[in-house]
C-alpha cells in the first residue's frame, strides 16, 4: 500500500504539509491508540504513569537509547529530552555554554537563527559572523564565508531554516577549535551526519521525530564540561538534566513515548540512509516541477541551499498563490500556505510524510499550471 494514495485515504487522513507539528507515521498513531487506556497491560495510560515507576522508566530509557542508536551517539555524549521546545534552547545555549569575556558567534540564515540571536542578545553581547538577511535569507554560507572572532565562545548555526527552506545539505566544517551549536529542529534524522562536527545539537521534536512538547538535546563531552561549571535554576541547567537523565522534574512523558515509537519506526524502515533517500525522492518531485515550469513556479532558496524538508515557492502572482492553496486544500493537501515573511506556498515533508503525498502535490502542481499557465 506504501506509495499509493490508499495510505492517506486510510482513516480519512489528508496529506498534511504542515511545517510542524507535522505528519507522524500511521503505525505510531495506531500503536498509541491501541495502548491508550492500558499500556501493555500495566493498567493505566502512559499519560497516567508515575515518572519514577518502572513502566515509564522503561519507555524513557528505551527512547534515549533508540536515539543514541539511530545517530550513533558516542557513550560520553549526553542525550536530553527537555521541555520548552527549541525556543527555550535559544536561551539555554548562552546560559550553559557562554564563557565570561568570550563572544558567541552566530550565523544567520533565516527566521530561526534570527530569533535565537534575539534571545542570546538579551543575555550578553554576541557577534554575527554571517547573514543572508539582505537577500531575504535565500542561502546558507560556504564553510569559509563567515568571519568568526578570535575570542569565540561558540559558533551557532541553524542547519535547516524551516520558513525559508534553506539547508546546508552538509555538516559544515568551520575550521575553528570552539564548540559548535546547531539548531537541527527541522532536519534532524533526515540524513546520516558527522556528529564529530558538532558539540550541541538541539531539535524540537514536532517535525522529524515526534509531537510538540519535547526537544532533544545532544551534548559533546566538551559541552558537558562547560555546562557543569554553571549554577543555574533546575530547569535551565543542562548539567541538572544530565545528572537525572532528564527526569529532574516530571518529563513530558507522553511526548517522549511517542518519540520512542517514532524512533523504532525510523529504525524498522531502514534508518537514516532510508530517511535520506525518501527525502531526496519527495523533494525532487517538487523541485523538478518548479524547475520545469519555465517560471510559473519560483523557488525561494538558491539551488545549492534547497531544503529537502521545507520547499518554499510561489506561483506567478499572489492571486494564483491563493487559488493554488485553496484548490490543493479541496484536494486533500492541507497547510500549504507559506509563512507571511516569504509568501506563496510551503510544502513541508518530514520523515513520516509519504512519498505518495509528494507525488500528489507534484501532479497537482502540473495540472494547476496547465489550467492557469
Of 21 and 192, which has the nearer Cβ to its own copies? 21
Per rule CB under 8 A, is residue 238 in the interface with its own copies? no
Binding mask 175-204 for its own copies (x = CB under 8 A): -----------------------------x
Cα-Cα-Cα-Cα torsion 184, 209, 221, 158, nearest 10 degrees, comes to: 0
> Residue 24 Cβ, how far from its own copies at the closest point, in Å?
5
Q: Tell me the C-alpha distance between 39 and 185, whole Å.
A: 29
Kindly write out the interface string for residues 123-162 of this chain, putting x where it contacts its own copies by CB under 8 A and - elsewhere.
x---------------------------------------
38 is a site residue for its own copies (CB under 8 A): yes
Could you give the CA distance from residue 92 to residue 70 in angstroms, rounded to a whole number? 25
Binds its own copies by CB under 8 A, chosen from 102, 212, 271, 284: 212
Calpha distance 240→343 (Å, rounded): 42
Tell me if 47 contacts its own copies by CB under 8 A: yes
Question: Residue 136: CA atoms inside 13 Å, Cβ hemisphere, count?
Answer: 13
130, 138, 174, 207: which is the annotated catalytic residue?
A: 207
The label of the residue with cell 502535490 reads 361
Determine if 44 is a binding residue for its own copies (CB under 8 A).
yes
- Assess 211 for contact with its own copies (CB under 8 A): yes
Residue 249 CB, nearest distance to its own copies (Å)? 4
- The single-letter DSSP state of residue 140 is P
Task: Tell me the C-alpha distance between 256 and 252, whole Å.
Answer: 6
Q: Which of 286, 278, 291 is CA-nearest to residue 328?
A: 286
User: Considering CB under 8 A, how many residues would be counted as binding its own copies?
Assistant: 68
Please say if 112 is a catalytic residue.
yes
Helices (H), the chain: 6-9, 26-34, 54-71, 85-97, 111-121, 221-227, 238-243, 253-269, 271-291, 318-330, 355-372
Q: Which stretch binds its own copies (CB under 8 A): 25-33, 64-72, 96-104, 297-305?
A: 25-33
| 77 belongs to the catalytic site | no
Instruction: Clarify whether 183 is annotated catalytic.
Output: yes
The minimum distance between CB 367 and its own copies, in angstroms, equals: 21
Give the contacts of 362 (CB within 8 A, at least 6 positions apart): 285, 286, 288, 289
Nearest to 24 by CA among 325, 257, 329: 257
Rounded distance between C-alpha atoms, residue 178 and residue 151, angstroms: 9
Q: Which of 148, 235, 271, 316 binds its own copies (CB under 8 A)?
A: 235
Taking CB under 8 A as the rule, does residue 105 contact its own copies?
no
- Does residue 21 have a cis peptide bond before it, meaning omega lies within 30 degrees of 0? yes
In whole angstroms, how close is the CB of 350 to its own copies at the nearest point?
10
Q: How far is the CB of 137 from its own copies (least distance, A)?
A: 19
Give catalytic residue positions: 112, 183, 207
Contacting residues toward its own copies, per CB under 8 A = 11-14, 16, 18-24, 26, 29-30, 32-33, 36-38, 41-45, 47-51, 53, 83-88, 90-91, 115, 118-119, 122-123, 204, 206, 211-214, 231-236, 248-255, 258, 332, 334-335
Amino acid at each position: 500500500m506504501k506509495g499509493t494514495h490508499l495510505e492517506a485515504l486510510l482513516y480519512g487522513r489528508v496529506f498534511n504539509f504542515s511545517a510542524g507539528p507535522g505528519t507522524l507515521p500511521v503505525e505510531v498513531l495506531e500503536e498509541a491508540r491501541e495502548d491508550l487506556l492500558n499500556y501493555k497491560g500495566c493498567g493505566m495510560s502512559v499519560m497516567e504513569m508515575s515518572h519514577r515507576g518502572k513502566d515509564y522508566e522503561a519507555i524513557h530509557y528505551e527512547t534515549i537509547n533508540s536515539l543514541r542508536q539511530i545517530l550513533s551517539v558516542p557513550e560520553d555524549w549526553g542525550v536530553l529530552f527537555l521541555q520548552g521546545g527549541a525556543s527555550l534552547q535559544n536561551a539555554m545555549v548562552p546560559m550553559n555554554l557562554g564563557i565570561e569575556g568570550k563572544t558567541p558567534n552566530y550565523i544567520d540564515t533565516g527566521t530561526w537563527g534570527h530569533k535565537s540571536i534575539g534571545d542570546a542578545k538579551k543575555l550578553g553581547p554576541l557577534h554575527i559572523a554571517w547573514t543572508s538577511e539582505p537577500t531575504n535569507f535565500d542561502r546558507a554560507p560556504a564553510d569559509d564565508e563567515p568571519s568568526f572572532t578570535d575570542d569565540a565562545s561558540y559558533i551557532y548555526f541553524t542547519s535547516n531554516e524551516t520558513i525559508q527552506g534553506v539547508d546546508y545539505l552538509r555538516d559544515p566544517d568551520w575550521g575553528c577549535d570552539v564548540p559548535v551549536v546547531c539548531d537541527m529542529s527541522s532536519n534532524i534524522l533526515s540524513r546520516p551526519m558527522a556528529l564529530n562536527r558538532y558539540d550541541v545539537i538541539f531539535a524540537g521534536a514536532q517535525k522529524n521525530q515526534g509531537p510538540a512538547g519535547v526537544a532533544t538535546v545532544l551534548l559533546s563531552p566538551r559541552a558537558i564540561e562547560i555546562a557543569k561549571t554553571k549554577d543555574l535554576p533546575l530547569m535551565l541547567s543542562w548539567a541538572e538534566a544530565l545528572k537525572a537523565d532528564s527526569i529532574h522534574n516530571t518529563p513530558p512523558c507522553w511526548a517522549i513515548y511517542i518519540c520512542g515509537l517514532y524512533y523504532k519506526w525510523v529504525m524498522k524502515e531502514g534508518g537514516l540512509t532510508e530517511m535520506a533517500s525518501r527525502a531526496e525522492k519527495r523533494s525532487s518531485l517538487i523541485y523538478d516541477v518548479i524547475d520545469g515550469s519555465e517560471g510559473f513556479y519560483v523557488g525561494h532558496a538558491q539551488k545549492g541551499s534547497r531544503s529537502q524538508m521545507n520547499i518554499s515557492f510561489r506561483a506567478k502572482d499572489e492571486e494564483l498563490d491563493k487559488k493554488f492553496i485553496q484548490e490543493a486544500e479541496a484536494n486533500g493537501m492541507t497547510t500549504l500556505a507559506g509563512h507571511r515573511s516569504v509568501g506563496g506556498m510551503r510544502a513541508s515533508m518530514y520523515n513520516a510524510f509519504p512519498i505518495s503525498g509528494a507525488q500528489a502535490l507534484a501532479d497537482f502542481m502540473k495540472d494547476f499550471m496547465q489550467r492557469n499557465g
